[in-house]
Amino acid sequence: MADAPVLGLLGEFGTADALLDAAKRARAEGYEKLDAFSPYPVEGMAETLAIGDQRIGWLAVIGGATGIAATLLLQDFVNRDYPLDAGGRPLIALPAFFVVDFEIMILFAVTFAIIGMLWMNRLPRLHHPLFGTPRFSLASDDRFFLYIAADDAKFDAEDTRGFLGALGAWTIEAVRA
């Protein structure tokens, strides 16, 4: 596999602060196609890498609205389709409907947000070239990795490797397809 094309370079760091610092300097250097890998979410990393995805919040809102609207329509329909007169009480009784409306609103909001998150993250994807990199398994333990993609405009196999070294990476590995 040594001849497979290089997808990018992966630099290993010992702490979250070192990773954050390295990511900031890489951004300042002009690198655009960066990713960082860490055992837990690093505070400030999303801002540094300019990841501003507001879609999940909106998906929850859309899901909730869909859920409550669909339930209200259904409740209205079934009570008209099969009217059951219980002591002359109103057929379309919003206070009695509302418990189920609320629950299904929540069910849809959560399902939309979570399925949306997995879909946007392109998960499940059981294999990925990164897993072929020997040290990458430590990203779920106690190491922090900065990844610079080879299709970045500023990427150059030699210079970028040198740059990662200058950032203080403990090891630098090439990720191959």
Partner 1 sequence: MASTSPPILPLDQSLHDVSVEIGRVPLRFPARVPWLIAFLFSLGLLLLFVVSVTWLLTWGVGVWGLNIPVNWAFAIHLYVWWLGLGHAGTLISAMLLLMGQDWRNSLNRFAEAMTLCAVVCAGIYPIIHLGRPWFFYWMFPYPATMGVWPQFRSPLEWDIWAVLTYLAVSLLFWYIGLIPDLATVRDRARKRGWQVFFGIFALGWRGSAHHWARWQKAYRTTAAIAVPLVVSVHSEVSLLFASGQIPGWHSTIFPPYFVLGAAFSGFAMVAMIALVVRHFFGLKEIVTDRHMDVLAKVLLASGLMTAYGYVFEVFDAFYSGDGREIATTYDRFFGLYAWSYWGAILFNFVPLQGLWFRKVRRSPVLLFMIGTSVVIGMWLERYMILVTSLYKDFLVSSFGEYHTTFWDWGTYLGTIGLFFVPFLLFIRYIPSISIFEDKEVLAREKREAGRG
- Which stretches of the chain bind partner 1, using CB under 8 A? 15-17, 35-42, 45-46, 49, 51, 53, 56-57, 60, 74-75, 78-79, 81-82, 84, 86, 89, 93, 96-97, 99-100, 102-104, 106-107, 109-111, 113-114, 116-118, 120-121, 123-128, 130-131, 137-142
Q: Shortest distance, CB of residue 177 to partner 1, whole angstroms?
A: 16
Counting every residue, how long is the chain?
Answer: 177
What does DSSP assign to residue 5?
P
Q: Shortest distance, CB of residue 45 to partner 1, whole angstroms?
A: 5
Our CB check for partner 1 shows the closer of 3 and 82 to be 82
Q: How far is CA 119 from CA 116, 122, 150, in A?
A: 5, 5, 25
With residue 172 as reference, give the H or E element that holds it: strand 172-176
Q: Shortest distance, CB of residue 133 to partner 1, whole angstroms?
A: 11
Our CB check for partner 1 shows the closer of 6 and 118 to be 118
Helix 157-167 / helix 16-29 crossing angle, nearest 10 deg: 140
- Burial group, residue 76, by CB count within 10 angstroms (0-12, 13-18, 19+): middle
Q: Shortest distance, CB of residue 158 to partner 1, whole angstroms?
A: 26
Of 51, 67, 47, which is closest to residue 59 (Cα–Cα)?
67
Per the CB < 8 A criterion, the answer to whether 13 and 22 are in contact is yes
Our CB check for partner 1 shows the closer of 3 and 52 to be 52
Reading the block at residue 22, the tokens are 């390295």
Q: Shortest distance, CB of residue 38 to partner 1, whole angstroms?
A: 6
Our CB check for partner 1 shows the closer of 36 and 172 to be 36
Our CB check for partner 1 shows the closer of 3 and 81 to be 81
